[in-house]
Amino acid sequence: MKYLLALVISVLLFTSVFAQTDETTNNYSAHGIQFQIGSNFQLESFDGLTFSYLYRANKDYFFRFGIGTFLSLLDASTTAGQTDTLETEGSADGFGLTLSGDFIFTLLRKNGFSMIAGGGPFVAYRYERNYSNIVSSFDPTEVTITKNEWSAGLGLLIGAQFELNENIVFSGEYGLNVGYQSAAQDVETKQNDHNGNITTDLKKIETNSFNISNSAFRFGVAVYF
């Protein structure tokens, strides 16, 4: 929630710069942020994204832009054993970025309720690296696993909205994603024997797939400024 609050403040500062222009051209708020309503009605990032921004061009359609980020850094070590000591040292790091954009329009509207539909492209990249060093009275072994994965496609949605007022809009959406995914994994194993010789084994796995999948139901709230 601390990050969400920081994002809300940032958007408020951004929209204040354009407030006079928006007021002269529209009689409603054009810029907004969308949150997902989770269990126990807690506000979460929408669709797992770090930030979801809305631009309402008019009452009939709006644009949604999303960005998702991933960053992980980990160092770990364990020691176990009785007669022989087995020590494992390792580290893991990774990062990722997701970008998406949707054009959403109104199909029907009545008494504050409206049916919506739309869609748009998405692209995502993710990198992960895991390293482990196993030290024992036997042959020490180092294992490094590197993963690179990217995907791109088109997301489609249909749902409903309820406008509580000009600034608060609740929504529920079902979605369908059509996309292509490419992944590569490298596994490098280095083993040292008692004579000081190093044996290196490298395995590479590549997969490419075309996927059509349903996205989870999303219940959200948009706050316009």
Neighbours of 126 (CB within 10 A): 16
Separation of alpha carbons 10 and 12, rounded Å: 5
Q: What pLDDT is stored for residue 6 in this prediction?
A: 44
The number of CA neighbours under 13 Å toward the Cβ of 93 is 3
Q: What pLDDT is stored for residue 48 in this prediction?
A: 85
Q: What pLDDT is stored for residue 42 in this prediction?
A: 85
Q: Could you tell me which of 68, 76, 133 has the C-alpha nearest to residue 101?
A: 68
- What total of structural domains would you count in the chain? 1
- Segments of the chain with pLDDT less than 50: 1-26, 83
Residue owning tokens 């991933």: 70
Tell me the DSSP string of 159-208. EEEEESSSSEEEEEEEEEEEEEEEEEEEEEEEEE-TTS-EEEEEEEEEEE
Rounded alpha-carbon distances, angstroms, from residue 95 to 65, 129, 131, 180, 192: 20, 9, 15, 20, 31
Q: Could you tell me which of 77, 194, 52 has the C-alpha nearest to residue 137?
A: 194
Residue 13: phi and psi, rounded to 5, are -65, -40
Q: What pLDDT is stored for residue 216 in this prediction?
A: 85
Considering the entire predicted model, what is its pTM? 0.77
Q: pLDDT tens across 16-66, in order?
A: 444 444 443 446 689 999 999 988 888 888 988 899 999 998 888 999 999
Residue range of the domain that includes 85: 2-224
